[in-house]
Structure 1
C-alpha cells in the first residue's frame, strides 16, 4: 500500500543518459525536492526493440538527429549492477527506489529491489508481461497512456486472472512529449476512477507544473513527473522534463493543495471564531430605549457588533417588553427581556 496522501514519483527515467553518476545526482535532486520516490527505467534494449524500429517524432525532435531507436535506447541503458547501486544509494538518502521494467527479465531482476511495480503505458496491452508482474504479488501502479477503457479493462482482467487480490493504482496519462494542454483530458482520470473503482493518479508530460497540481485537486493519489538535471542535455526526454527547481516547486504546491483539501467536513475553523464575532451582524438598539417599552422593528438595527442576539431571533424579540434600558448601538441580549 502506498503512503497516505499524494504519492509523488520523481521520474528520472533515462535522463541519466546512461551515466550512473548522473543517476546519483538525480536521486539527490528528487530527495531535495521532497518527492516520495525516484523512478528509473530498467530494460535490455535487444529484448525490447526490433532493430527495425524507428524513432518517434518527438524523439527525433528532442534528440536533434535521427538514429535507429535501438541504438538510441542502448546508449541510455544501465546495468543490473548499476541499479543495485542506485537502490542502495536511494536507501541511504531515504527515498523509495522504483524502476519500470520493460521486459520480463527486468521484472524478475527488480523483484528484490522495488516495493511496487510501475507498468509503463506501452506495456498495457502486453498480456504475458502483465501476467508475469501479477505473479510477483506486489502493488502495481499502471499508466494508461494510449489506452481506452476497453484496453484498461482487459489489462486489469489479465492481472486479476493471475492475482485477484493485487492492489492496483491507475494513472491517467497522455503519451506525448511534451503534451499540449488540449490533449491532457484530465477529467479522464475521474472516468477511470468511476469505471474501475480503483485509486487513480496522473502521469504528466506537460511542460509546466499546473496540470499535476490540478490533478491533485481533482483527487489524484499518485503523481508522476519527469525531471532532469538540465533541459539542454542531449537525450529524448530532457526537454519535456522539469529542472530541479521546478520539481521542488511542484512538490511544494502539491503538499499545500493536500493540506488545503482538508477533511471535507463543513464547519467553522478555530481561527474563524474571533473573526466571526467581528463580522457577523447582531441585533442592536436603533436608539436609546427605556425599560418597559414594547419593542418594535423600528427599535432594532442589524449591525456588526461584538455583542447581541443574532438576526434569526428578530421575530422573537419583536413585541416583547424590555425590562432593562438599552443604549443606541448596544446589542440586545436575553437579559434585556428576562426578569432576574
Structure 2
C-alpha cells in the first residue's frame, strides 16, 4: 500500500497511526474556545486538526415539517430541526483561517470536510492540503468528484455505505483524479457501540479497494481504536473537546485531552507491536535463553557413578543439556568426579 505524504508527513502502514482530532461543533460558537481546542489537540499529540465547512443553508432547508425534524428518541439532537442543528454546529467560515494558522503553528495538519461545492471552492482558496468526505455525503457523487478533482489526498468515511455504493464512490473519486485515497470504517451512530463497529471490515475493505483504511471512531474510550491498528488501520479520527462537561453538539461522544494523549500513545504502541511474523528468540530475547531450564548435577558424584533422579535435576539456568534429554541420560555414568551445580554435558558422561 502506497504511503501518502501530506505537508511532509507520511501516512501509511510503515508509519505510526495518523491521529485526527475532529473539532466539529465543540467550539460552542466561540472562536476563543475553538483555538483552545486546537492548542489542546496539539498538546495531546494529535497529528491533524479537522473542522467542517458548511452553513445551515448549504446543508438543508429552513423547514420544520416531519422530513426536516429530528425525531429519533435516541438522538442527542432530538427535537431540533436539521436547520437548527446546523446553525448551532457550524464553524463560521471567517474562523477557518485563524484556526488553520494556529494548527500549523503548533505542528498539526489542518483540513476540513466540505459539504457542498461552494465549501470546496472556499477551502481551495485557503490551500487546504487534504479533504474529508463525511459518511452522510459518501453517496453525493457530484461532491466526491468536485473534491477529487483538486488532486489532493482524500479521506472518505464509509458509514452506512454498502459495498456497491462504496464501489461507485471510489470509482468516481479515482476517475476524477484522486490519487491518495483513504477509506475510514465508520459506524454512523452517536455515540457508537463497540459491538456495532465491526472493525474486521478494515482488512477486507483494504483488499477490496486497494487503498489505506482507517477508523472514524464514535465509540467511547480508546479500546476500539487500538484494536483497529492491529487490523491495519493507518488513520484514526476522533471527535475532540476540552471537556464533555462543557456541553455542546458533539460533546457527549468526544474525547477529552488526556484521552487523546492516551490514544496517540497506545495506538503507536499497538503499531510498534505488529512487527512481522517471527518465531525463535529476538535479539533482545537471546540474553534470556540462559534462564531456561536445563539438566544439572544436584549432588556431588564420583567417577563411574550413574545418573539417577536423585543426583540430577531439571532446573534453571539453561547452561546444561536440554530437558528433552533427561530420560535418555538416566542410568548413564559420569567419567570423572563431578561437583553439585555442574551443568550436565555429553563430555562428562561415559
Same fold by TM-score greater than 0.5: yes
Q: Does 1:145 align with 2:159?
A: yes
Do structure 1's residue 135 and structure 2's residue 146 form an aligned pair? Answer: no
Q: CA deviation at 1:185?
A: 1.9
Match for 1:189 among 202, 206, 212?
202
- Point out where structure 1 has 5 or more consecutive residues left out of the alignment: none
Correspondence 1:1-340 to 2 at 5 A: 1=4, 2-3=10-11, 4-52=15-63, 54-57=68-71, 61-63=75-77, 66-111=79-124, 112-163=126-177, 166-278=179-291, 280-285=292-297, 287-291=299-303, 300-312=312-324, 322-336=334-348
Q: What is the distance in 2 between the residues matched to 1:124 and 1:300? A: 71
**Is the contact between residue 179 and residue 205 of structure 1 (CA under 8 Å) also seen in structure 2?**
yes
Change (3 A) 1:123 1:5: same
Q: How big is each residue's C-alpha offset from its partner over 1:48-90, in whole Å with a ceiling of 9 and x where there is no partner? A: 2123362435699535x63432233133333433211111111
Which whole-Å deviations, capped at 9, do the CAs of 1:271-316 have from their partners, x for residues lacking one? 53443312x1112235544445687899754222353122355688
Between 225-234 and 292-301, report the one with greater CA deviation. 292-301
1:141–1:283 distance in 2 versus 1, CA, 3 Å: same
Please give the per-residue CA displacement for 1:218-269, whole angstroms capped at 9, x wherever unaligned.
2211111112123244533111212222222322322332333334433424
What's the C-alpha RMSD, in Å, of the aligned pairs? 2.9
1:138 to partner: Cα distance: 1.3
Distance in 2, matches of 1:132 and 1:203, equals 22
Total equivalences in the alignment:
335
Mapped partners of 1:181, 1:294: distance in 2: 63
Does 257-266 or 197-206 show the bigger shift?
A: 257-266
- Evaluate the alpha carbon distance shift between residue 58 and residue 15 of structure 1 in structure 2; reply closer, same or farther with a 3 A threshold: farther
Cα distance in structure 1, aligned partners of 2:32 and 2:74? 25
CA shift for structure 1 position 159:
1.2
Range with greater deviation from structure 2 (229-238 or 118-127): 229-238
Structure-1 separation of matches of 2:327 and 2:74: 76
